[in-house]
Structure 1
Amino acid sequence: MNSEEVSKTRSNREKRKKLSEGFTGMLEEEYDRIRASGKTVKEVIWESGNA
């Protein structure tokens, strides 16, 4: 690999990491919201499917 390819690979890896961290944060917030409602995740999924 030349230095340009290495730089591009590193840049793509950093982008994927940022996306992953963002999605993880969103999931954690949603999970916290569900738990605060007093319901289980299963109950919320069931309700959303039957809405």
Structure 2
Amino acid sequence: MKKLNKETLLNRRAFLRRSIVGRLIPAVTVYLIAKSTPPLFGQSSAGRQEPI
């Protein structure tokens, strides 16, 4: 299960970038959707829904 240090470092950097972008983009989209939709839809679902 051990990998080379260079591979793990590169994988971790790529994973960090993907995770940051993967969390940031859906958060922004959910925020924009919740902001654009009427309060009937936005407030109830925006707080409970989590981006996958």
TM-score (norm 1): 0.61
Decide which structure has the larger Cα Rg and report it: 1
What count of residue pairs does the alignment treat as equivalent? 40
Which amino acid counterpart does residue 6 of structure 2 have in structure 1? Answer: S
The alignment-based identity, stated in percent, is 15
Tell me, which stretches of 5 or more residues in structure 2 are unaligned? 47-52
Runs of 4+ residues over 3 Å off in structure 1: none
TM-score (norm 2): 0.60
Q: Which has the higher helix share?
A: 1
Rounded Cα–Cα distance in structure 2 between residues aligned with 1:9 and 1:35: 38
Instruction: Output the aligned Cα RMSD.
Output: 2.2
Tell me, which stretches of 5 or more residues in structure 1 are unaligned? 43-51
| Highest RCO, 1 vs 2 (Cα 8 Å, sep ≥ 6) | 2
